[in-house]
């Protein structure tokens, strides 16, 4: 859940500011590639060595991203390190999928989620 993710960010001293109103929601599908965003996804803006993903935040919002995670003031969840926040998000997202699949998760192979 989103609340747990925010608590983990805070525990790792990554959370700078949370602008979300509703934290009792499930984690949306994470997306790192602005070209593959679908409505309702969470866009994680990462600053690279040659390109800054924060420049793509307006495009991500236009495509329907419900949450923006990044180091920029445009982010709905502002963090001090996008890469670390992305790894925590991925771990929580996967844990949520495992919890949602119930007790059969240990007997049946779980379909691999596709991160966009």
Lowest average pLDDT, out of 20-29, 31-40, 68-77, 89-98, goes to: 89-98
Confidence bin at 12 (pLDDT 50/70/90): very high
Which residue, among 22, 75, 26, has the nearest Cα to 46 in the 3D structure? 75
Rounded Cα–Cα distance for residues 41 and 32 (Å): 10
CATH code reported for the domain at 2-99: 3.40.1390.10
Query: In a 3-state reduction of DSSP, which class is residue 60?
Result: helix
Q: What is the CA radius of gyration of the chain?
A: 14
What is the reported pLDDT for 13?
A: 95
Write out the two tokens for 36. Answer: 């593959």
CA dihedral 9, 97, 94, 42 (to 10 degrees): -60
- Report residue 2 CA to chain centroid gap: 9
pTM of the model: 0.81
């Amino acid at each position: 859940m989103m609340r747990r993710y925010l608590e983990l960010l805070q525990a790792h001293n990554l959370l700078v500011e949370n602008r979300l109103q509703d934290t009792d929601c499930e984690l949306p599908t994470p997306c790192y590639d602005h070209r593959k965003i679908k409505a309702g996804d969470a866009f994680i803006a990462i600053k690279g060595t040659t390109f800054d993903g924060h420049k793509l935040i307006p495009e991500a919002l236009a495509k329907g991203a419900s949450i923006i995670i990044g180091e920029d003031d445009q982010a709905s969840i502002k963090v001090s390190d996008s890469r670390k926040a992305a790894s925590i998000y991925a771990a929580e997202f996967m844990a949520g999928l495992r919890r949602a699949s119930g007790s059969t998760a240990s007997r049946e192979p779980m379909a691999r989620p596709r991160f966009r």
